[in-house]
Amino acid sequence: MHNDLFSIGPFHVYGYGLMIAIGIFCAYVLAEYRARRIDGLDDEVVFGLTWWAVVCGLIGGKVLYFVTILPTIIKNPSMLFQDLIEGFVIYGALIGGVVGVVLYCRLKKLNCMSYFDLAVPSVALAQGFGRIGCLLAGCCYGRETDSPFGIVFQTSEYAPNGIPLVPTQIISSALNFLHFIILIVFAKKYKKGEGQVAGLFFILYSAGRFVLEFFRGDMERGNVGVLSTSQFIAIFMVIFGLILFFALGKRGGDKVAASVSIIGGADGPTSIFLAGKVKDEKARELEKQKLEKLARTIEVNPHTLEETERYLVEKYQAVLLPSDSEEVQREEQATRGTLVLRHKPELVQTPEPEYPKSREQDELKRFGEQILKRTEEAEHVSAKEFPLDFKKYQIRLEEKTDPGEDAPRDSRDACLDICIEKNYEFLQLSYSYSGKEYERKLKEIMKDIYLYYGVTQEDVENYTERFLVLAGIIKQL
């Protein structure tokens, strides 16, 4: 392979450095893009997070490299200064990068696990490019082989030239790109808890690296007994990854449901409710900033609930469910509880609790119990005390001619429910499905209905709550 690519005056461009630079750039762009798409993450901090991870990673990689050649350094201390540019160990870079992320998250008061999960697919992508750099430079080469798949270097300063070697750099690069794809898919579709993506990364990378080490031919890698330094570290990394993956992962069912509520008609908002966990001040502020950015792209297109109701029936053939059905009455009572808390909290005996600043487990538990008790009291308020003009529509997706093994058993397994309450101008959409085939279509319909309901010019000018909620819905869906 050829590492010296070209020169611009006195500056030489080397393949290894170029691939590292491309990897870091792609990792940064990917992380920033995903941060904008993931609720609760701030894309503004990705640049700083990247540089902390890169700098600490370089330091960690260099320190572990010095550890692997410690006997040589003891004999010749000048090696510390001679090898400042060349020689890095990837596990040292990973450990250093982890330290950098932790330090940056603590400095900025961010959730470390959330940003680890954001970062590791980018790390895998960067490593894929980095190993291409190793191929161009000829470092991290494999053992001599008789295999027809061997690779022969001719002008390498590191690998033995003219001898067929196991293409460890190519294998490693392919594995890293594969890890990247697996991590992205897992994060999007299967992640149950914060830290799982990071855990899966450490498991995949360390297991692959442990096996690949048996085929490496470069000797300056150190050893611990019969294992190389990297294999020894890989054992602990796999254990660490398993702990993250299983201990922090939260199990969930196959049935998926989501709902968002907007209270307030086309003439102005009264309140909003978004399903989800209670967020701290920092998370709420970050979310607000992200929604404000997205809000600038939303066009003014206000419609009343009556107009929206007709739109549902005409465009989607939404079916009005019988008002005396158990399902409708249950939804109406839940809506009543929501509206009571907003408009007539005096009907509820339990006072509204303040989110505990100390965030002690006992205080958080009491806070949750009080919220639950307050919600249950609101849902038990009678129709006589708090009358509603409530309707529920349902849009059902047609089943396929040949639904396949994973298809829903009936059309109710893929449906969109629309609850409308006209006294307080309440609109709520919720969808449910089994499997993944109907998710995209349900989200498209949900987004279209909310966009049709729209916002007023006053909402746009004043960045009202209603405007920010609609922006959030568009972002999430």
Question: Residue 221 above 80 pLDDT?
Answer: no
> Helix crossing, 196-212 with 168-189: angle to 10°?
160
What pLDDT sits at residue 65?
77
**Domain enclosing residue 407, as ranges:** 256-325+391-476
Which residue blocks in 317-438 are alpha helix, DSSP H? 326-343, 361-379
Task: Of 21-25, 54-58, 133-137, 407-411, give the lowest mean pLDDT range.
Answer: 407-411
Flag whether 244 is in a domain. yes
120 and 169 part of one domain: yes
244 and 269 part of one domain: no
404 and 306 part of one domain: yes
Flag whether 366 is in a domain. no
Flag whether 282 is in a domain. yes
178 and 312 part of one domain: no
From CA 129, how far away is CA 21, in angstroms rounded?
Answer: 9
Longest pairwise C-alpha distance within the chain: 90
Question: Residue 353 above 60 pLDDT?
Answer: yes
What pLDDT sits at residue 112?
84
222 and 285 part of one domain: no
Question: Residue 265 above 50 pLDDT?
Answer: no
198 and 301 part of one domain: no
Question: Residue 57 above 70 pLDDT?
Answer: yes
Question: Residue 207 above 70 pLDDT?
Answer: yes
Across the chain, mean pLDDT equals 79
159 and 291 part of one domain: no
* Block residue for tokens 């009543």: 336
Mean pLDDT of 384-413: 68
Question: Residue 270 above 60 pLDDT?
Answer: no
142 and 283 part of one domain: no
Query: pLDDT digits over 146-196, tens only?
Result: 888 888 988 887 788 889 999 999 999 999 999 999 999 998 888 878 888
Question: Residue 102 above 60 pLDDT?
Answer: yes
Flag whether 370 is in a domain. no
Token digits for 279?
A: 């967020």
What pLDDT sits at residue 406?
46
Distances (CA, A) of 225 to 177, 209, 222, 229: 31, 17, 10, 9
Mean pLDDT of 414-426: 87
What pLDDT sits at residue 475?
61
What pLDDT sits at residue 319?
93
What pLDDT sits at residue 318?
93
Q: Are 340 and 377 in contact (CB under 8 A)?
A: no
What pLDDT sits at residue 220?
61
Question: Residue 369 above 70 pLDDT?
Answer: yes
Mean pLDDT of 295-313: 83
Among 248, 277, 292, where does a domain finish? 248
What pLDDT sits at residue 438?
78
Question: Residue 274 above 60 pLDDT?
Answer: no
Question: Residue 295 above 70 pLDDT?
Answer: no
What pLDDT sits at residue 222?
65
Query: pLDDT digits over 18-35, tens only?
Result: 888 899 999 999 999 888
What pLDDT sits at residue 448?
87
Distance between start and end Cα atoms, the chain: 47
Token digits for 105?
A: 């998250």
108 and 187 part of one domain: yes
Three-state DSSP class for 401?
Answer: coil
Q: What dihedral angle (degrees, nearest 10) is formed by the CA atoms of 309, 310, 314, 317?
A: 30
Read off the pLDDT band of 244 (50, 70, 90): confident
Query: pLDDT digits over 183-201, tens only?
Result: 999 988 888 788 889 999 9
Buried/exposed code over 337-347 (b: 16+ C-beta within 10 A; e: otherwise) = bbbbbeeeeeb
Among 248, 279, 298, where does a domain finish? 248
Q: How many CB atoms lie within 10 A of CB 86?
A: 13
From CA 281, how far away is CA 355, in angstroms rounded?
Answer: 10
The beta-carbon contacts of 161-170 under 8 Å, at least 24 apart in sequence, are 165/141, 165/217, 166/142, 166/215, 166/217, 167/135, 167/142, 168/140, 168/141, 168/142, 168/212, 168/215, 168/216, 168/217, 169/131, 169/132, 169/134, 169/135, 169/140, 169/141, 169/142, 170/131, 170/135
Three-state DSSP class for 350?
Answer: coil
From CA 255, how far away is CA 246, in angstroms rounded?
Answer: 21
Flag whether 357 is in a domain. no
Read off the pLDDT band of 272 (50, 70, 90): very low
Token digits for 418?
A: 């629309």
Mean pLDDT of 347-366: 79
Burial of 142 (0-12, 13-18, 19+ CB in 10 A): buried
Flag whether 198 is in a domain. yes
From CA 235, how far away is CA 223, in angstroms rounded?
Answer: 14
What pLDDT sits at residue 408?
40
> What is the value of pTM for the model shown?
0.56
Task: Please name which of 413, 422, 390, 442 lies closest in space to residue 260, comparing C-alpha atoms.
Answer: 442
Q: What is the DSSP letter of 154?
A: S
Which neighbouring-strand residues pair with 14? 4
Among 248, 273, 306, where does a domain finish? 248
Flag whether 350 is in a domain. no
What pLDDT sits at residue 442?
85
**Who has greater pLDDT, 89 or 412?**
89
From CA 185, how far away is CA 232, in angstroms rounded?
Answer: 29
From CA 18, how far away is CA 13, in angstroms rounded?
Answer: 7
Mean pLDDT of 246-264: 52
Residue-by-residue DSSP string for 233-275:
HHHHHHHHHHIIIIIH-----S-EEEEEEEEEETTEEEEEEE-
284 and 406 part of one domain: yes
Count the domains in the chain: 2
Residue-by-residue DSSP string for 297-312:
TPPP----HHHHHHHH
Q: What is the 3-state secondary structure (H, E, C) of 434-448?
A: CCCCCHHHHHHHHHH
99 and 206 part of one domain: yes
Q: What is the DSSP letter of 356?
A: P
Read off the pLDDT band of 2 (50, 70, 90): low
Flag whether 348 is in a domain. no
Task: Of 62-71, 238-247, 388-397, 405-414, give the lowest mean pLDDT range.
Answer: 405-414
Question: Residue 294 above 80 pLDDT?
Answer: no
Task: Please name which of 341, 289, 339, 309 lies closest in space to residue 472, comparing C-alpha atoms.
Answer: 289
Read off the pLDDT band of 314 (50, 70, 90): very high
Q: Are 337 and 382 in contact (CB under 8 A)?
A: no
268 and 209 part of one domain: no
What pLDDT sits at residue 11?
73
